Chains A and B, each alone.
Chain A
Amino acid sequence: MIIACPFCGPRDLSEFTYCGDADNLAARPDPAATDQAAWNAYVYDRTNPAGEHAEIWQHSGGCRKFLRVVRSTVTHEIESAEMVGPKA
């Protein structure tokens, strides 16, 4: 698998660290919230789709930026890779 880092260009999988389901990470409850069910769902439950999956990768062996990658979990084909976070 080769991920096209928007900053560094196409780089090998071995340079990246997987951080999980992007939609789930984006749906984190407000840290001040005390809704147990919402926190449980955020921490433990995943949609785990077969097909298109949005996920966060860090280019830990490169620019160290966090990327939102849309990738097929069936073919490993990567559709897009964009920077995320406050400095994206």
Chain B
Amino acid sequence: MQIAGGVPKGLSSMAEYSALSIVKNALTGNRDWKPAWRKPEPKPAYDVIIIGGGGHGLSTAYYLASEFGVRNVAVLEKGWVGSGNIGRNTTIVRSNYLLPGNTPFYEHSMKLWENLSHELNYNVMFSQRGIINLFHTPAQEDDHARRGNAMILQGVDARFVRPPELKRRVPALNVSGSSRFPILGGLEQPRAGTARHDAVAWGYARGADRRGVDIIENCEVTGFVREGDQVTGVETSRGRIHARKVAVAVAGSTSRVMAMAGIERLPIESHVLQAFVTESVKPCLDTVVTYGGGHLYISQSDKGSLVFGGDIDGYNSYAQRGNLPIVEDVMSEVLELFPAFAKLRLLRSWGGIMDMSMDGSPIITRGPLPGLYLNAGWCYGGFKATPASGWCFAHTIARDEPHPFNAPFTLDRFHRGTVIDEKGQGATPWKH
């Protein structure tokens, strides 16, 4: 299958950012750096308009221009680039899925991640420090073995980690057996890791801009221009803009934006997910750890802060802030795994709005109207998918048909009985 990357092209040959350019610009007082992207006025018409200047919208624009030869593209962003979920997540990248519908897509994303800094000539600080999903009961161990085997069968790396190795690898972890849910082991994906989320948005924005894409910030879409059913453009706070194709990649705001196109009901609910960061400490956790007795994922940033999150709050919300029961829940899970972290002070917490789909899997598709394309339903998992989401969405927009990687992620799968329910939870989006 065709995979972007491999041979770096375009930007890399320019090597605008390099050790040499740092020295050269230092000698001239750092006055000659170009802005990472332009601030263009919107043109009256484009081939493709992408609504949403987040990770997925920007990566879609980048791959449209770099892989599919569509350069007359505008990205419309209501706020500023990276102001939404791309800057609010816990930065985890992994492809440790069970179901055949998910694995090829997320593994494609992983392969794009592995070459992303090189391809973009922008350091996204992708660090393959591994992820360890802990298990605490024999039944959970079987379940993790099943998923690990499914991963290996689909060409993804997976291995079991037992408590003696866990103790060595994650010294702060309580593997004493005295905890409420003693740790029996973990399923590791060694190639998983973390990346600097803002840099991903900025790198894609810069890469898209250098290829001719107009990134238009402070431009809110207020309506759709229609000829019959056909979508032919958008009304915005900066005037009407026409386009042959309009693509929506607005995560938690999907229902709001699609309602403007007359799509009143979607298999999506918006929910608030909180994240937390502590004060910086010396390196003490060099992998990503998830808790199997509840829902917690934790890693240490390069600045030294512990970054973690847990469940969504569990009620519909567009508020970008959550409530205290989940805070208490997440903190208790951190201390269950890492008792020593009780001494740390929490610096910040915040919320992002998840577009929770009815089966926990995304939607990357043409439609539901002619001229309209939809990328949504990312639940907790949008960040890791950023490269493949953009790549597959760009393919779908440019060729008017999905790539096999995103062919299962249709909007009508819910009505056709072909849901991809990784967790087997059913149509209760707040439980995915």
A residues near B323, Cβ cutoff 8 Å: 1, 13, 76
How far is it, in angstroms, between the C-alpha of A75 and the C-alpha of B181 when the chains are bound? 37
Q: Is the CB of A14 within 8 A of B325?
A: yes
Q: Which of B253, B265, B318, B328 has the largest number of chain A CB atoms within 10 A?
A: B318
Q: Is the CB of B314 within 8 A of A48?
A: no
B window 409-424: CB within 8 A of A: 414-415
How far is it, in angstroms, between the C-alpha of A20 and the C-alpha of B271 when the chains are bound? 11
Q: Is the CB of B325 within 8 A of A46?
A: no
Confirm or deny: A33 has a beta carbon within 8 angstroms of a beta carbon on chain B. no
Q: Is the CB of A18 within 8 A of B430?
A: yes
Q: Is the CB of B268 within 8 A of A46?
A: yes
Q: Is the CB of B256 within 8 A of A50?
A: yes
Contact with A along B51-89 (1 / 0, CB 8 A): 000000000000000000000000000000000000000
Confirm or deny: B316 has a beta carbon within 8 angstroms of a beta carbon on chain A. yes
A45 in contact with B265 given A13-B325, A21-B316, A76-B319 (CB within 8 Å): yes
A55 in contact with B316 given A18-B430, A37-B415 (CB within 8 Å): yes
A48 in contact with B319 given A20-B428, A41-B265 (CB within 8 Å): no
A residues near B358, Cβ cutoff 8 Å: 43-44
B residues near A76, Cβ cutoff 8 Å: 317, 319, 323
In the assembled complex, the CB of A11 is this many whole angstroms from the nearest CB of chain B, namely 12
The bracket for how many chain B residues form the interface is 20 to 34
Q: Is the CB of A74 within 8 A of B269?
A: no
Q: Which of B267, B316, B415, B430 has the largest number of chain A CB atoms within 10 A?
A: B316
How far is it, in angstroms, between the C-alpha of A25 and the C-alpha of B122 when the chains are bound? 49
Confirm or deny: A65 has a beta carbon within 8 angstroms of a beta carbon on chain B. no
A residues near B264, Cβ cutoff 8 Å: 47
Confirm or deny: A9 has a beta carbon within 8 angstroms of a beta carbon on chain B. no
Q: Is the CB of A75 within 8 A of B319?
A: yes
The bracket for how many chain A residues form the interface is 20 to 34
A residues near B319, Cβ cutoff 8 Å: 73-76
Q: Is the CB of A48 within 8 A of B430?
A: no
Instruction: Say which residue of A14, A36, A48, A71 sits within 8 Å of B255 (CB atoms).
Output: A48
Q: Is the CB of A45 within 8 A of B266?
A: yes
Instruction: Say which residue of A44, A47, A50 sits within 8 Å of B427 (CB atoms).
Output: A44
Instruction: Say which residue of B316, B427, B428 sits within 8 Å of A48 (CB atoms).
Output: B316
In the assembled complex, the CB of A61 is this many whole angstroms from the nearest CB of chain B, namely 11
A window 18-37: CB within 8 A of B: 18, 20-21, 36-37
In the assembled complex, the CB of A81 is this many whole angstroms from the nearest CB of chain B, namely 13
How far is it, in angstroms, between the C-alpha of A18 and the C-alpha of B430 when the chains are bound? 9
How far is it, in angstroms, between the C-alpha of A74 and the C-alpha of B315 when the chains are bound? 12
Confirm or deny: B290 has a beta carbon within 8 angstroms of a beta carbon on chain A. no
Q: Is the CB of B325 within 8 A of A73?
A: no
Residue of A nearest to B270 (CB): A48
A40 in contact with B265 given A73-B316, A76-B319 (CB within 8 Å): no
Q: Which A residues have a C-beta under 8 Å from some C-beta of B?
A: 1, 12-14, 18, 20-21, 36-37, 40-41, 43-50, 53, 55, 71, 73-76
A selection of 16 A-B contacts at a CB cut-off of 8 Å is A12-B325, A14-B324, A18-B314, A21-B269, A37-B415, A43-B358, A44-B427, A45-B266, A46-B269, A48-B266, A48-B316, A50-B253, A73-B317, A74-B319, A76-B317, A76-B323
With A44-B358, A75-B319 given, name 20 new contacts (CB 8 A).
Answer: A13-B323, A14-B328, A18-B315, A21-B316, A36-B415, A37-B415, A44-B267, A45-B265, A46-B265, A47-B264, A48-B270, A50-B253, A50-B255, A50-B318, A53-B316, A71-B315, A73-B318, A73-B319, A74-B318, A76-B317
